[in-house]
Chain A
Amino acid sequence: NAGVTQTPKFRVLKTGQSMTLLCAQDMNHEYMYWYRQDPGMGLRLIHYSVGEGTTAKGEVPDGYNVSRLKKQNFLLGLESAAPSQTSVYFCASSRQLDGTDTQYFGPGTRLTVL
């Protein structure tokens, strides 16, 4: 099992450009999450999904959109990138939503917006 994978690993964007981050999991997990991690701050939840075709807003959803067309994939989109979106983005998945089961994280995507 590959677990949770993310593509790309690194990306540099110019302000106003768009991009999509792809997250894939092969553990048949229902729940998937996108976080961002900034220096000196904990991981913050951007959006999450409780199943195929469903998405919900997390703590910091502005400027991002997501889609879960297939159970194994969770896409994070930036329509018009801003320097404030420079961050490390982690995707995660879990069997349960209530935190009683561990979340498995992907290796992260390092995004720089100039």
Chain B
Amino acid sequence: RKEVEQDPGPFNVPEGATVAFNCTYSNSASQSFFWYRQDCRKEPKLLMSVYSSGNEDGRFTAQLNRASQYISLLIRDSKLSDSATYLCVLVSSYKLIFGSGTRLLVRP
């Protein structure tokens, strides 16, 4: 079983829609979690950290559910510029473990 699993998508949504991605992880000892964004043929960039209490950054909300071992990313009022691949990342033994990503396509 992979340490981090994501639905590859693509999620195809209209502008203005709300979309949510989940990511499950197998290592219950993981302490830190992140969402990274990767545009086509570009490098990954940190989108936001994920805290147990949940955190929000503008239209983006990240949640962590330790009991069920998943993290989520909610995007409200989707923009065309949100089209990208979203990578779920956790820290395990001082290393970053990346999921394979969920692709989002926002259409006009």
Contacts and interface: CB of A to CB of B under 8 A. Distances in A.
Contacts of B62: none
A99 B32 contact: yes
Chain A binding surface, main DSSP class: loop
Contact of A97 (B8, B46, B87, B94): B94
Interface string B85-96: 001000100111
- Scoring B8, B34, B43, B95 by chain A CB atoms within 10 A of each residue's CB, the highest score goes to B43
Contact of B97 (A42, A90, A107): A42
Interface string A5-43: 000000000000000000000000000000100001111
Contacts of B100: 40-42
6 contacts: A40-B100, A42-B4, A58-B95, A99-B34, A103-B96, A107-B43
